Amino acid sequence: MENPTPDPSETGRLSESLAAILPSLEAFNQFDGSDNAGRDRANWTALLDRSLPQSGAGLDEVLRELSEIVIPNGLRNGAPGFSGWVTTAPTTSAVAATLASTVAGSQRYWIQAFHHLEAVALRWLAELLCLPAEHAGVFVSGGSVANLIGLGAARQFVFEKAGIDPARDGLAGDRRWRIYASSEVHHVVTRAAGVLGLGRSNVCAVKTGTDLRIDVAALREQLLTDRNDGILPVAIVATAGTVNTGVIDPIEAMADLAAEFGVWLHVDGAYGLPGILDPRVVDLFRGVERADSVAVDPHKWLAVPVGCGATFVRNRGLIGRAFTMETAEYLEGSVSDGPVDSPFDDFGETYFHWSVEQSAPSRGVQVWAVLREIGADGMRARVVRDNSFARQLADHVQADNRLELLADPVLSICCFRYRRPGFDEERLATVNGAIMRQLRADGVCVPSATTVNGRYAIRPCFINPRTTARDVEELARRVRRHGDELSTAV
C-alpha cells in the first residue's frame, strides 16, 4: 500500500508490522538457550551504533533490525529463574494494554476511555491495597517519582503551616528541617529530598534494630531532640517492604509518633505494599491507612510494564498546590466551559496538576487490564505464592549445612549465603561473590546480592509471575554446587 500522507514515516501497516516482529518476540519469551547479550555485546552494538542516517532505511528494515538484532539482545528479567533486584517483565494482558494505549490513548487527558481508566485503576488499586477510598491517586513513572510526589505534598503541608508557600516562593530563610527514615530507606527518597530542595543531608537515617526495622524509640528520641532545637519535621517515612530484605517498618507505631508530633507520615510501599494481600503478614501493615501519602509501584509485584508507579495522598489540594502547572493560555484556553460536543472540550481529571509530568502515557489501563484479567484473587494468589517461595527457600537453606539463612523472610525476599567451616567473613564474601558471578554467567537462576548486618547475602526477590517452585529449588542447588566448587579456589 502506498503511503497516503506527505510524511515519509509509515502511519498504516500496523497489523503487518506487528506480525513481522511477533515471531522474534515469541522466541524471546521462551528464554531458550544461553543469554549472550553480555558476552556478545561488541557484535550487536557494532550493528546498532550507526551514524545518523541521512536517508531512511524504511519500515521493513526497521522491523528486520528489531527482529534480528534488538529483540534477541533484550533483557531477560522475565525469565522464570530471574529473581534479581525488584524487577520482572510484564504479563501478557499488560503488554496488550500498553500497546493499545500507545496506539489509541497516547495522552492521559481529554474525554477518552484510556483517561477514564486512570481513575478506575487508581480506585481499584487503592481498594486492593487497603488504602482509604478518599485518598486521591495519580499514576507516575515509577517509585522514584511516586516518592517525590508524596514528599512534595509533605513539604507543601509543613511549610504552609509555617506561612510559606514552598512551591511558589521556594525555601528561603534560616529554618532547619528534617525528614526521618530508617537507615534501610531506598535512596530515591534521599534523592527526592534533594530534588525538592529539602536537601539530602536533611534526611535523618534513624538506626534499626537487628530485625532491620526502624527503632521507634530512637525515632522518638530524635524527634524530641530536634523539636527542642527548633528543627521542623517535614515527614516520617515508613518503608513497607525494604528493598534489601523486605522488612516492614512498624507503621502503626510510626503513625502514632506522626500524630503525637503533628508530622506527615509517608509510606514507601513501592515493592512491598501488595504484601498486604497475604493473610500471614497483613498485620505488619497495620497503620498504613493512617498515612498521609503512600507510594506504590505496579511495575513491580503487579508486573505491568516498567514506567508505572502511583502516589496516593489524603489531601488532593496539597498535591495540587505543590505541583500545579498554573493556568496556561495554550492549554486552558482551548477547552470550552460549555456543553461537551467534542472529546477535546474537557481535560477530565487534571493529573498534570498533581505530578511532575504534563504529557504522559495512559498507565491506568495496564493496571486495569491485569486486575480485570486475574482479579484481586489472582493477585492475592501471586503474592501468597511468592512469599511462600521465600519461605520454601529459607527452609531448604536451613536444612543444608553448607547454606546459611541471613534473615527470616517477611515478604518474598530470602537473604542467604553459602558457608563453609573455617571461612572468615572476608572469605565468605569472596566465595559468595564468585557464586553470584557464576549464577549470572549461567543465566538460569539469577538473583541479586546485598549485605545484611554487614554480611554479603545472595538475595532473590520473588515477584516474577513465571517463577515456579522448581526454579526456587534450582537456585538453592546451584548456590550449593557452585559454592562447593568455587570455595576450593579462594
Ligand X SMILES: *Cc1c(COP(=O)(O)O)cnc(C)c1O
Grid coordinates representing 471 are: 526454579
CB of 240 to ligand X, least distance (A): 8
> Does the protein bind ligand X through residue 367 (CB under 6 A)?
no
Distance in angstroms (rounded) separating the CA atoms of residues 330 and 122: 28
214 touching ligand X, by CB under 6 A = no
- We find the least distance from the C-beta atom of residue 295 to ligand X, in angstroms, to be 7
Count residues contacting ligand X (CB under 6 A)? 13
CB of 143 to ligand X, least distance (A): 2
How far is the CA of 485 from the CAs of 162, 257, 399, in angstroms? 63, 51, 20
SS3 (DSSP) at 328 = coil
E strand or H helix that includes residue 378 = helix 364-398
> Using an 8 Å Cβ cutoff, are 370 and 94 in contact?
yes
β 448-452/455-459 pair status: antiparallel
* Smaller CB separation from ligand X, 34 or 183: 183
For ligand X, the closer CB: 118 or 297: 297
Is 25 exposed, middle or buried, given 0-12, 13-18 or 19+ CB atoms closer than 10 A? middle
Q: Which of 98, 82, 102 is nearest to 90 (CA)?
A: 98
| Minimum CB–partner distance for residue 80 and ligand X (Å) | 21
**Which span sits near ligand X by CB under 6 A: 105-113, 138-146, 250-258, 394-402?**
138-146
> Considering only residues 84-103, where is the footprint of ligand X by CB under 6 A?
86
Considering only 114, 139, 271, 285, the residue that binds ligand X (CB under 6 A) is 271
For residue 239, the SS3 value is strand
186 touching ligand X, by CB under 6 A: yes
Name the pairing type of β-strands 232-239 and 203-206: unpaired
Nearer to ligand X, 144 or 450 (CB): 144
Return the residue nearest ligand X (CB atom).
143
> One symbol per residue from 231 to 250: x for binding ligand X (CB under 6 A), - otherwise; what is it?
--------x---x-------
Residue type, 297: D
Q: Which stretch binds ligand X (CB under 6 A): 2-10, 46-54, 136-144, 389-397?
A: 136-144
Among residues 413, 431, 412, the alpha carbon closest in space to that of 421 is found at 431
- Report the residue number, 105 or 309, with the smaller CB distance to ligand X: 309
Q: Which residues bind ligand X (CB under 6 A)?
A: 86, 142-144, 186, 188, 239, 243, 268, 270-271, 297, 309
